[in-house]
Amino acid sequence: MKVLIMTCAISLLFSIFTLFQYDCNQLQLWEERIKWEADNAADAAALYYELEEFSEGTKVFDKSEGNEAVAYVLKDNLDPDGDGAIRNEVLGDKFEYYVYYFDGNGTMTAYKGTTKICESAFEFPYSFTEDLTGYTQTIAEATVIVTIDAGAFNYRLSFIDDPDCIRTSGFDYHSYN
Amino acid sequence: MSKYLVLAASVVILLSFVMQYGIEQRNHYNLVSFETTVNSTREEAKQAGAFTTDIIARMKEKIAEQFDVDESEIIVNVSAAKKYRTNEFDEREVIEYEVGIPLDKLIASNKLWGVSDEDNKTIHYVRGVVPSEALEE
């Protein structure tokens, strides 16, 4: 009887351990995926710029086209059902993203999704710190930075705090003289 | 005697948890490596405007080496036509891809838990789109 009780207790402990291991792995996998997608979205947004300003030697991003491209790649890669929730079993319903455009004319424009939330002037080189993640980058060229906030990761063990699943990535073009 | 029989059964059950730990870590490592390979490859495809035959062959070779699987077991569905970068965003000019690999063992001692070998395997897919960076000549 003693052996049986011990086996049941150890099995329960191992089950908890197995669940924790699986969830930790899923968190790591999703953080990697979100990082790749932030990178991909920043790249997509940086592809579109105003041709007139570019002909004068200044890169000013076309925010309208950039935002459309970001929304499309993120929707297709993370939210194909279009219900505002990332395709997954382990993350919550939250899915927000921020796009920061640093134009060559010294204007920074920030968007939450496709809604403009801020516009300000800056000077190159500029040290940018993303408030949500603490990501810091020195802006020396026209740059696009994307942050994806996928909300809290749901650990199935209720006594573990749910960490935030949020990643930032930037994309810039280096000019060569 | 009954004590030893219970002990023997207990050891079998408990050992399956230990084996599950190893299988889970192996599968996780493989998935991270696989997704990293596919995502790195899509960067090459962006530059080329499509998943060209060369790019697909290199990706398959790398995945086959990492997973010790036959290249024919790797599922690759990608946009065949070359896509181009345009001044305005165009949904038709994005590169679509879907790559899958078989995972042949998900649960350790599956028969002990009543899971058949057929149910104990799956195909893991990575799907998505990337914008093309290739310029029309």
B53 part of a folded domain: yes
Mean pLDDT of chain A: 85
How distant, in Å, are the alpha carbons of A21, A89, B29, B109 from that of B103?
18, 19, 12, 16
SS3 B35: helix
Span A95-121, pLDDT tens digits: 789 999 999 888 999 999 889 999 999
Helices A63-78 and A2-46 pack at an angle, to 10 degrees, of 150
Average pLDDT over residues B23-39: 92
Q: What is the mean pLDDT of chain B?
A: 88
> What pLDDT score was predicted for residue A91?
60
The rounded distance, in Å, linking the Cα atoms of B59 and A100 is: 33
- Of the CA atoms within 13 Å of residue A73, those in its CB half-sphere come to 30
What residue has token string 């059902």? A81
Is the residue at B35 inside a domain? yes
* Residue B10 · residue A3 · CB < 8 Å: yes
Q: Is residue B137, in this structure, part of any structural domain at all?
A: no
Is there a domain that residue B98 lies in? yes
**Other CB atoms within 10 A of residue B113 CB:** 11
Cross-chain residue pair B131–A28, CB shorter than 8 Å: no
Instruction: Answer for the pair B136, B82: CB distance below 8 angstroms, yes or no.
Output: no
Residues of A in contact with B135 (CB under 8 A): none
Residues 6+ apart with CB under 8 A from A42: A99, A144, A145, A146, A169, A170, A171
Local confidence band at A2 (pLDDT 50, 70, 90 cut-offs): confident
In a domain, B91, yes or no: yes
Question: Is the Cβ pair A48, B24 closer than 8 Å?
Answer: no
Chain B residues in contact with A6 (beta carbon < 8 A): 10
Residue B35 phi/psi, 5-degree rounding, is: -65, -35
Beta carbons of A7 and B25 less than 8 Å apart: no
Residue A7 is nearest to which of B10, B46, B129, comparing CB atoms?
A: B10
Q: In the structure, how many helices (H) and strands (E) does chain B have?
A: 2, 3
Query: C-alpha distances in angstroms, A172 versus A64, A101, B21?
Result: 18, 10, 42
Domain assignment present for B47? yes
Interface-testing mutation among B1, B40, B129, B135, with chain A (most A C-beta atoms within 10 A): B129
A40 vs B contacts (CB less than 8 Å): 42, 128, 130
Residue A83 has pLDDT above 60, yes or no: no
The ipTM value here is 0.85
Q: Which residues of B touch A69 (CB under 8 A)?
A: 89, 131
Task: Tell if the CB–CB gap between A11 and B17 is shorter than 8 Å.
Answer: yes
State the pLDDT confidence band at B10, using cuts at 50, 70 and 90: confident
CA A26, B117, A12, B30 torsion-angle sign: negative
Return the percentage of chain A with pLDDT > 90, whole number: 32
For testing contact with chain B, the best of A6, A18, A36, A64 (most B CBs within 10 A): A36
Please indicate, yes or no, if residue B136 is contained in any of the structural domains.
Answer: no
C-alpha B114/C-alpha B122 separation (Å) is 17
Instruction: Pick B113 or A146 by higher pLDDT.
Output: A146
Report the distance separating Cα B20 and Cα B38, nearest Å.
27
Range of B64's domain?
2-131
pLDDT bin (cut points 50, 70, 90) of residue A36 is very high
Considering the domain boundaries, does residue B17 fall inside one?
yes
Average pLDDT (B64-69) is 86
Q: Which residue of A has its CA nearest to B39?
A: A36
A10–B129 CB contact, under 8 Å: no
Q: Do B133 and A14 touch (CB under 8 A)?
A: no
Residue of A103 and A79 predicted with greater confidence: A103
Number of domains in chain B: 1
pLDDT of residue A93: 66
pLDDT at residue number B76: 93
pLDDT for the residue numbered A175: 65
